[in-house]
Structure 1
Amino acid sequence: MIEDMLRTPAAVQDAERHTAHNYHPLPVVISSAEGAWVTDVDGRRYLDCLAGYSALNFGHRHPTLIAAAHAQLDRLTLTSRAFIHDQFADFCRELAALCGKDLVLPMNTGAEAVETGIKVARKWGYQVKGVPAGQANIVVAEGNFHGRTTTIVSFSTDEDARADFGPYTPGFRIVPYGDLAALTAAIDEHTVAVLLEPIQGEQGVVVPPEGYLPGVRQLCTERNVLFIADEIQSGLGRTGTTFACELDGVVPDMYLLGKALGGGIVPVSAVAADADVLGVLKPGQHGSTFGGNPLACAVATEVVRLLATGEFQRRSAELGERLHAGLRALLGKGLVAVRGRGLWVGLDIDPALMSGREACERLMERGVLAKDTHGSTIRLAPPLVITEAEIDHAVAQVAAVLAG
């Protein structure tokens, strides 16, 4: 009976009726998935070109990750950080090595990683840099998306995320993304960190101008300021490298990681930095009941091992070239801009044709799932297990939608 109810449009209406409307999902009810494909309750298959906002970089139900989760579920799922479990050391050691950093601090969600980074940067500023108590500031960029906690939305420039959630947390300075001169002017003796996405995902996969990230790195070094890279969406293979910062030859002082780190199975996030930064934390000053739990560590360790082979980074780089080339061929045919790196693309559709939401609805009707962002912009971020034929199929559906 429940299954019969799900097979009607009423399933969508029922979900909306009993859920707070903090999302506006496409009207599709997914019941199973494998690789780059999902299947709805009526048995119709869709090519997933969102991949859980990059949380599903390795596709749905990757067999290695599913096996790790099953094995751990039969043994141990939670201890809290009051005790050490047998999956913890491997995860922290191997992730630290992947990042080229001394230490890792595991959390759960991306927003928690960002909040952790903010706290660590402030504490570092007071204890190491010598900033007077209560005076620390952090410089961020316009168009940022770092999460939706009260502190994080305090420095958002997206009114949908920010409006009516004040009073706002002080201590942040907002400058235009990609403007090194503005960033330089914003830093003073009380600045403890610059927090940036190396590529702005929610803004529409916006790539900074050439030389910007190396300039940020040099500026932070010269002014004794931490460079914090939010690689929650851009990291772990999405852009054709392990981290998007690598595309510019840049190493930040701190990585913020999440999404793909949990393999699309459990929420896992982490902060990675050297001991002179993360070492400022002492017992009782920061924590999480579920952060670094055995199930999360078992899955995330296998994620790190998949990345250590370099296979997924190569796939993203090579297949990304094919995706970008196919989409660039549609410029002037309904597309006005194509941006991104690897298997991550922002498409600006001629607003005279349709909105981004309308484009995603039409793509859904043609068996491709994507997500709109601002105005007439949509994002494509397929799992890194996608094939050449599936990429060509996705591009063909975009072309068909644009052609009407």
Structure 2
Amino acid sequence: MGSLRIALEDRYCAHNYAPLPVVLSKGRGIWLWDEDGKRYMDMMSAYSAVSFGHSHPQLVQALTQQAGQLAVTSRAFYTDQLGRFLQLLCEMTGMDKALPMNSGTEAVETSLKAARKWAYKVKGVPDQQAQIIVCAGNFAGRSTTIVGFSSEAQYREGFGPFDGGFVTIPYGDAAALEAAITPHTAAFLVEPIQGEGGIIVPPDAYLAQCREICTRRNILLICDEVQTGLGRTGRLLACDHEGIRPDGLILGKALGGGLLPVSAFLARSEVMDVFTPGDHGSTFGGNPLAAAVGYAALSLLRDGELIAAAEQRGQRLREGLNALRHPAIRSVRGKGLLIGLELDPQVITARSFCERLMENGVLSKETHHTVVRFAPPLVITAEAIDAALRIIEHVFATLPTPHMEACT
């Protein structure tokens, strides 16, 4: 049956993904099951969207209860769910106001519009001349505006012309940020850790240096925490590792509890207040169903236990990976439960490694051909981490060493 499901999807779905050959039908906690009943450990969490695990009972209850009450009205009316959701979101993150959207891409687009209008209305940049600084290796979404400032050739090829208005600098280089700022610069958009770029962690104090530069040069610091936010790195926000607060904050993925697309752009009042009725919107953004689930998801993080667990389990996983010392391992990097295992493609590609993990009951996905990402749900236990490490070690043990390959 699994092969028929795959064939059906291949026949009728656009080939914009290359899924691993597994057909999943059920999920609970950190576990997934295929159609034949085989169980797999989820070490990917849908790119951090399933941070609370699959079918978390409190989130499912919030979803089903609200679905039976009121799901969607559009923002043409007030509802009894949105206000309390955004209040909790702002209070937990330390931001003044929030604009709810659905996908992470939409939230990033919202931040770009806010930054540009702030530049024209508040900073005094001449109309149509605002620039936004971004980093090489970024991944902020798939819209034409966003891929227009991507440094990944495949994301851009065939989709131009692009609007422009973006300046690209090296990631992790605060001096490059300083040098790139002009009187027309509106904002600096940055990921605290580049997830899709290969789990790239910048040098210590990088964000703090960027915060100082942006404040001194009067530009907005906007942090894209769609993947890194909401406990993933062992802090509520990855920004919290350096104790800084951005002018704009982008959240998504885990905000929907793994059940719905829920995202938001948050900002200081001075930034958010540039929007007036009709400037921006979304039919589904901030709908009662999304707000109820988002509120429940945030509530699971309030006592800090899941966030602390992400720090502890992540350290256990990183230490375990480092202890393997296989010659195919180039590096282990990350924070909390966002970890990248970089492999030597001369020994094995990341895709092939993920296929072998799948055969042994662990699901993950490669990025940039050489990096296997490990980002399990925050509810993962120490025992499950150890079980995953044993499987990873077993897969490495089945690989030929570079020396053996050279002799064949």
Q: Deviations over 1:213-237 (max 9, x none)?
A: 1110000000000000000000000
Corresponding residue number in structure 2 for 1:37: 31
Corresponding residue number in structure 2 for 1:335: 329
Query: Structure 1: how far apart are the matches of 2:271 and 2:110?
Result: 12
CA contact (8 A) 1:334 1:403 kept: no
Corresponding residue number in structure 2 for 1:356: 350
User: Structure 1: which 4+ aligned runs deviate by more than 4 Å?
Assistant: none
Task: State the number of aligned residues.
Answer: 398
Query: Structure 2: how far apart are the matches of 1:381 and 1:181?
Result: 31
Q: Deviations over 1:7-63 (max 9, x none)?
A: 242221221111100000001000000000000000000000000100000000111
Calculate percent identity across the aligned residue pairs.
52
Name the aligned partner's letter for residue 152 of structure 2. Answer: D
**1:20 and 2:6 equivalent?**
no
Query: Structure 1: how far apart are the matches of 2:380 and 2:131?
Result: 42
Matches within 5 A, 1:236-251: 236-251=230-245
CA contact (8 A) 1:333 1:402 kept: no
Name the aligned partner's letter for residue 156 of structure 2. Answer: R
Matches within 5 A, 1:88-237: 88-237=82-231
Corresponding residue number in structure 2 for 1:278: 272
Matches within 5 A, 1:68-79: 68-79=62-73
Q: Give the 3-state SS of the residue equivalent to 2:159 in structure 1.
A: coil
Q: Give the 3-state SS of the residue equivalent to 1:329 in structure 2.
A: helix
Q: Give the 3-state SS of the residue equivalent to 1:128 in structure 2.
A: helix
Structure 1: gaps of 5 or more residues: 1-6
CA contact (8 A) 1:57 1:263 kept: yes
Query: Structure 2: how far apart are the matches of 1:47 and 1:160?
Result: 31
CA contact (8 A) 1:88 1:294 kept: yes
Query: Structure 1: how far apart are the matches of 2:154 and 2:27?
Result: 31
Return the offset for 1:331: 3.0
Q: Deviations over 1:127-172 (max 9, x none)?
A: 0000000110000000000000000000001112111110012100
Match of 1:52 among 46, 52, 58: 46
Query: Structure 1: how far apart are the matches of 2:277 and 2:141?
Result: 26
Return the offset for 1:376: 1.8
Q: TM-score, normalised by structure 2?
A: 0.96
CA contact (8 A) 2:50 2:377 kept: yes
Return the offset for 1:181: 1.5
Return the offset for 1:332: 3.9
**1:375 and 2:369 equivalent?**
yes
Corresponding residue number in structure 2 for 1:298: 292
CA contact (8 A) 2:248 2:267 kept: yes
Return the offset for 1:375: 2.1
Structure 2: gaps of 5 or more residues: 399-408
Return the offset for 1:336: 1.2
Corresponding residue number in structure 1 for 2:80: 86
Query: Structure 2: how far apart are the matches of 1:68 and 1:79?
Result: 18
Query: Structure 2: how far apart are the matches of 1:212 and 1:201?
Result: 16
